[in-house]
């Protein structure tokens, strides 16, 4: 503990603290309660994983809004192709397209889910903090600086295809900094799962969201460094003449666009599967069905999302390899398995249609639709899908699933992440708007790819592009509604378990959690659902 981070306070000095705010599984500790220093000093110097996670989420959502604006400009520009450059000229269009594509993954989906994991994963595994808390803080500030430099590079005519050479170099370096920050954050999350679990919690007993984040983090750690190495090569090529890859200008974006394409984009959405299973168990009030099978399904989906081997710039024939086609065909199966296990879990209990469950189900259905469309690319030669809008539909549906999973997670753990419960009515309605809008966007792009011919197949049929813009507007409206529902009025006291059915350790902490997460001793567990086991033991004792 450092002097700039927290200060001890007397736990008995606050008579207004509600009794029983955080039902402990195992208590008896004598550690002093700590309170964070508030204000700017507390924000800038914090190593509290909850503060860091909230910063990640807030920054990523802001950058995601910029990505949506860029995507909307591209979509509107394609509605009437006969007029030529109606909004964006050639060079500007290349930069806007590259910003919309890269920012959706590196500046929004991945850091937002990483931020959610930084808040929730330590609570779920019974840790007092995230592993390497100062490194976690450094990862956020490096991400923020990198994102700011990327925006600066685009603003001064940098980015792929930009007309200012030093600004293009800045874009490459800044993107590399963002990648390094995300790698560091992923290390912190994965190490927390592997090395900071509480007593009695084996890897087989970790909650499903934590397991999915472990699987996703491992894949990110395998693939993001490849992107970083590729950026170094691109930098050397651009600065010293095409030494390795050849081709500059807009072609630079083609070297890194694989990070948001099939199959790599599946790895970004892997946490959605774990969120669904945790939300189903909580909303249903039942034990998760076939835990081992669920872990295998999530791990399999993460493995099928490893796409660093299929970089077109290095292995142009990778898409035609049997292993690539096999991965595409198998990807829907783990998603179907997780949906089935979630359905069995809800069926075995007495389900409530909570906002977290509704959002998680819709996010997983979007992911299923994306993987089904992705499976068709195994036959892209026969269907003539290469170079069309079909792969774009796969990417947009998968990224929409990740975004919807983020919304569901924020509502499900709102009292832990934000310290207040979300508006349940908006929490159930907003995901419907987002999901319907995403289906319209993906469906229109898929039709363009399948039915279009020539330019219409690559840039989209004009009528379908208009429909896609309408779907994008629905997505934006749903996102705004979701944000409004999360900005509620803080109550004097939030229960530790607002659903009354929590089974995992995050529901044994106060809302919002204290700096050290758990009062007294770190809780010890004897099962995968310790709160349910504890309540059942109490019921049996009262009966006897």
Q: State the pLDDT confidence band at 3, using cuts at 50, 70 and 90.
A: very low
Q: How many domains does the chain have?
A: 1
Q: What is the pLDDT of residue 454?
A: 78
Residue 426: CATH number of its domain: 1.20.210.10
Percent of the chain with pLDDT over 90: 53
Within a domain: residue 29?
no
Average pLDDT over residues 221-240: 89
Q: Cα torsion for 301, 307, 310, 314, to the nearest 10°?
A: -170
Within a domain: residue 497?
yes
Cα separation of 59 and 481, whole Å?
A: 18
| One-character DSSP codes across 419-468 | SS---HHHHHHHHHHHHHHHHHHHHHHHHHHHH--THHHHH--HHHHHHH
Q: What is the separation, in whole angstroms, between the first and last Cα of the chain?
A: 46
Q: What is the pLDDT of residue 538?
A: 47
Whether 101 has a pLDDT exceeding 90, the answer reads no
3-class secondary structure, 14: coil
* pTM score of the predicted model: 0.89
3-class secondary structure, 10: coil
Smallest CA-to-CA distance from 107 within 139, 144, 152, 71 is with 144
Q: What is the pLDDT of residue 289?
A: 80
Query: Which of the pair, 34 or 52, is modelled with greater confidence?
Result: 52
Q: Could you report the per-residue pLDDT of 364-406, keeping only the tens digit for each?
A: 999 999 999 999 988 877 677 877 889 999 999 999 999 999 9
Tell me the CB-side half-sphere exposure of residue 186, using CA atoms within 13 A. Answer: 25
How many beta carbons lie within 10 A of that of residue 540, not counting itself?
9
Whether 85 has a pLDDT exceeding 80, the answer reads no
Q: Could you report the per-residue pLDDT of 152-183, keeping only the tens digit for each?
A: 999 888 888 777 888 889 999 999 999 999 99
Within a domain: residue 10?
no
Q: What is the pLDDT of residue 250?
A: 64
Tokens of 221: 């750690």
Query: Which of the pair, 435 or 42, is modelled with greater confidence?
Result: 435
Within a domain: residue 385?
yes
Cα separation of 391 and 370, whole Å?
A: 10
Average pLDDT over residues 108-135: 95
The answer to whether the beta carbons of residues 88 and 73 sit under 8 Å apart is yes
Which residue do the tokens 């930009």 mark?
Answer: 162
Q: Could you report the per-residue pLDDT of 17-31, keeping only the tens digit for each?
A: 443 344 444 333 333
- Mean pLDDT estimate for the chain: 84
Cα separation of 376 and 398, whole Å?
A: 15
Q: What is the pLDDT of residue 6?
A: 38
The answer to whether the beta carbons of residues 529 and 288 sit under 8 Å apart is yes
How many beta carbons lie within 10 A of that of residue 150, not counting itself?
26
Among the listed ranges 12-26, 225-239, 276-290, which one has the minimum average pLDDT value?
12-26
Average pLDDT over residues 145-158: 92
Within a domain: residue 544?
no
Q: Could you report the per-residue pLDDT of 446-486, keeping only the tens digit for each?
A: 999 888 877 788 888 888 989 999 999 999 999 999 999 99
Within a domain: residue 382?
yes
Within a domain: residue 161?
yes
Whether 536 has a pLDDT exceeding 60, the answer reads no
The domain of 76 spans 45-521
Within a domain: residue 528?
no
DSSP state of 8: E
Q: State the pLDDT confidence band at 1, using cuts at 50, 70 and 90.
A: very low
């Amino acid at each position: 503990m450092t002097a700039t981070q927290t200060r001890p306070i007397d736990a008995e000095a606050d008579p207004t603290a509600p009794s029983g705010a955080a039902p402990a599984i195992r208590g008896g500790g004598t550690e002093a309660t700590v309170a964070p220093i508030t204000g700017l000093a507390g924000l800038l110097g914090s190593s509290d994983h909850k503060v860091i996670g909230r910063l990640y989420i807030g920054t990523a959502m802001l950058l995601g809004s910029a990505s949506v604006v860029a995507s909307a400009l591209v979509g509107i520009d394609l509605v009437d192709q006969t007029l030529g450059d109606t909004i964006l000229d050639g060079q500007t269009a290349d930069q806007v397209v590259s910003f919309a594509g890269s920012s959706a993954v590196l500046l929004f989906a991945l850091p937002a889910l990483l931020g959610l994991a930084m808040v929730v994963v330590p609570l779920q595994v019974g840790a007092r903090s995230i592993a390497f808390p100062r490194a976690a803080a450094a990862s956020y500030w490096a991400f923020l600086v990198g994102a700011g430099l990327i925006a600066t590079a685009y603003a001064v005519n940098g980015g792929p295809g930009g007309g200012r050479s030093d600004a293009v170099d800045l874009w490459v370096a800044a993107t590399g900094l963002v990648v390094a920050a995300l790698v560091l954050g992923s290390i912190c999350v994965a190490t927390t799962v592997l090395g900071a679990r509480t007593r009695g919690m084996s890897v087989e007993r970790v909650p499903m969201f934590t397991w999915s984040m472990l699987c996703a983090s491992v894949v990110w750690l395998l693939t993001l460094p490849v992107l970083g190495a590729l950026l170094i090569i691109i930098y050397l090529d651009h600065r010293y003449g095409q030494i390795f890859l050849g081709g500059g200008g807009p072609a630079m974006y083609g070297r890194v666009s694989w990070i948001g394409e099939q199959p790599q984009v599946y790895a970004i959405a892997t946490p959605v599967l774990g969120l669904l299973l945790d939300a189903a168990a909580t909303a249903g009030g039942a034990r998760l069905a076939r835990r081992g099978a669920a872990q295998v399904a999530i791990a399999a989906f993460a493995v099928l999302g490893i796409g660093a081997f299929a970089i077109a710039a290095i292995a142009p024939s990778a898409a035609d390899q049997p292993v690539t086609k096999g991965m595409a065909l198998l990807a829907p199966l783990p998603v179907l398995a997780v949906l089935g296990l979630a359905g069995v879990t809800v069926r075995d209990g007495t389900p409530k249609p909570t906002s977290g469950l509704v959002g998680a189900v819709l996010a997983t259905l979007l992911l299923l639709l994306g993987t089904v469309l992705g499976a068709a690319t195994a036959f892209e030669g026969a269907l003539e899908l290469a170079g069309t809008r079909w792969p774009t539909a796969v990417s947009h549906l998968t990224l929409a699933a990740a975004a919807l999973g983020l919304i569901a997670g924020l509502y499900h753990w709102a009292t832990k992440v934000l310290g207040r419960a979300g508006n349940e009515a908006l929490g159930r309605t907003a995901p419907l708007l987002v999901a319907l809008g995403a289906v319209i966007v993906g469906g229109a792009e898929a039709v363009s790819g399948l039915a279009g011919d020539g330019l219409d197949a690559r840039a989209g049929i004009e009528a379908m592009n208009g429909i896609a813009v309408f779907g994008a507007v629905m997505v934006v409206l749903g996102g705004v509604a979701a944000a409004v529902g999360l900005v509620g009025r803080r109550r004097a006291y939030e229960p530790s378990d607002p659903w009354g059915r929590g089974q995992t350790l995050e529901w044994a902490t106060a809302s919002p959690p204290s700096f050290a997460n758990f009062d007294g001793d770190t809780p010890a567990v004897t099962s995968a659902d310790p709160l349910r086991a504890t309540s059942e033991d109490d019921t049996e004792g009262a009966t006897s």
